[in-house]
Structure 1
């Protein structure tokens, strides 16, 4: 005995230009029938909330699936899976496609080589799928754009929910962010964490989807933008504040990555205020309000 609800969409050409579109969504539970063997031309994320079952890879290996878990079904790759006939399972699935999926794969959010991924919790992912379900009501004029945005959110949520996201990996990223503007090389950072450069590259790639160099550069340039926009510090002083002793090198690097010179960025974004900007992230549920004294 099983129960199923599903709905499928046909986004138009303009919606496909968003880069990532939702093709369908479904909620199912019980002793569902076996799926496949079959091959699809698009991606599907299957979130198993309760129960257990199995997944057979193209090479014939059978992998146990125990909730909470994620099944990645990727284009052109045969798959075959199903719940245990004695227990069944509770699943939600989202079909999606678009060239942006390739970027998410490159960044490690989608893992074609690992079709079964253990999750620490499926609640947040199910909540995101729920938003797609609510957007799927008949006659919703914002359907394609709402569901496209939710697929982006789902991929981020699933990335955060991976059970193998080690706490020490998060600590390494946080420490790199804290020390990003110090004049340290990647090898220096690795040594500070008792790691080889290769181990640091693996940890950062796993955690942030990029190399340590790019991770540090993103933080440095972000801070440089804040200093350019919020202060009147000379460009050379900004360069030193974010870890570059050579202001000419900093300017070339900034221009190449940002698309404009530091001086031009300042002309566009300058918002110098008495006292400077706050480093404290505001609480979205209790944002600052004019006329009220901050409590933190």
Structure 2
């Protein structure tokens, strides 16, 4: 005996231009029928929150699936799977497609070569799927946009729930973020962690979906933007604060990556921070409390 609920959608061309669209969502549990062998033309994320079963890879490998786990069904790749015939399993699934899936794959959020992914906890992804089922009522005028936005959220939740990553993020990434604004090269960062540059590159690519250089640059430029917007520090001082001794190089780099010069960014974004910071920004981990006047 099994129970199933599912809805399928047909988003229009304008919705597809949002990057990702949801094609269907469902919840099922029990001794579900075997799926496949079959091949799809879109992605499906199958989140197994309880139970166990098997997955047969195209190369003939039979993999055990034990909850919590994720099955990646990717376009053009044959798949064949089923829960245990006696105990069954509890699953939620989301069908989706769109041009942004290529970028999510490049960043490591979708893993075509890894169809069975152990999760540390399925609670987060399952909560997103549950919200999608609530949005899937037929009289919801925002259905396609709301469920499409939820696919982005689901991909982040699945990435965060992967069992091979620490729940609070990879410790190497945390250390890089902490030291990002120090004047250290990628090789220097690798040496501080007892790693080769290649090993650090692999670790950062696996955890953040980009190179160490891009990871560090994103943090540096984000901090530079905060300093430009919330302080009166000269651009040269901002450059030094984020790890660049040459303000001209910093300005060229900022302009190339942000699309506008530091001085222009400040003119557009400068504002007085509550509390009156003049040469520093508040700690991101301790945001300021904005006092609201008492009601008359």
| TM-score bracket, shorter-length normalisation | over 0.9
- Check if 1:10 corresponds to 2:10: yes
Superposition deviation, residue 291 in structure 1:
4.4
Match in the other structure for 1:175 = 175
Cα distance in 1 between the residues matched to 2:172 and 2:290: 31
Cα distance in 2 between the residues matched to 1:38 and 1:83: 16
The answer to whether the 8 A contact 2:181-2:242 is kept is yes
1:194-241 deviation digits (Å, cap 9, x = unpaired):
111111111111111111100000000001111111112111111111
The answer to whether the 8 A contact 2:229-2:269 is kept is yes
Cα distance in 1 between the residues matched to 2:156 and 2:63: 25
State the aligned residue count. Answer: 290
The answer to whether the 8 A contact 1:44-1:96 is kept is yes
Cα distance in 2 between the residues matched to 1:168 and 1:72: 23
Give SS of 2:41's match.
coil
Give SS of 2:173's match.
helix
Match in the other structure for 2:127 = 127
Give SS of 1:155's match.
helix
Return closer, same or farther for 1:19/1:86 CA change in 2, 3 Å cut-off: same
Return closer, same or farther for 1:110/1:245 CA change in 2, 3 Å cut-off: same
Cα distance in 2 between the residues matched to 1:138 and 1:282: 43
Cα distance in 2 between the residues matched to 1:89 and 1:169: 29
Cα distance in 2 between the residues matched to 1:228 and 1:261: 11
Superposition deviation, residue 167 in structure 1:
6.6
Cα distance in 2 between the residues matched to 1:155 and 1:168: 17
Match in the other structure for 2:263 = 263
Alignment gaps of 5+ in structure 1: none
Give SS of 1:120's match.
coil
Match in the other structure for 1:290 = 292
Which TM-score applies when normalising by structure 2?
A: 0.94
> Please, which moves more after superposition, 70-79 or 222-231?
222-231
Match in the other structure for 2:242 = 242
Return closer, same or farther for 1:271/1:159 CA change in 2, 3 Å cut-off: same
Give SS of 2:158's match.
helix
Match in the other structure for 1:213 = 213
Return closer, same or farther for 1:149/1:282 CA change in 2, 3 Å cut-off: farther
- Check if 1:79 corresponds to 2:79: yes
Superposition deviation, residue 84 in structure 1:
1.1
Cα distance in 2 between the residues matched to 1:210 and 1:30: 40
Superposition deviation, residue 290 in structure 1:
2.0
Which TM-score applies when normalising by structure 1?
A: 0.94
Give SS of 1:175's match.
helix
The answer to whether the 8 A contact 1:169-1:203 is kept is no
Cα distance in 2 between the residues matched to 1:288 and 1:268: 23
- Check if 1:91 corresponds to 2:91: yes
Return closer, same or farther for 1:168/1:266 CA change in 2, 3 Å cut-off: closer
Match in the other structure for 1:103 = 103
- Check if 1:279 corresponds to 2:283: yes
Cα distance in 2 between the residues matched to 1:25 and 1:280: 36
The answer to whether the 8 A contact 2:231-2:277 is kept is no
Superposition deviation, residue 288 in structure 1:
3.8
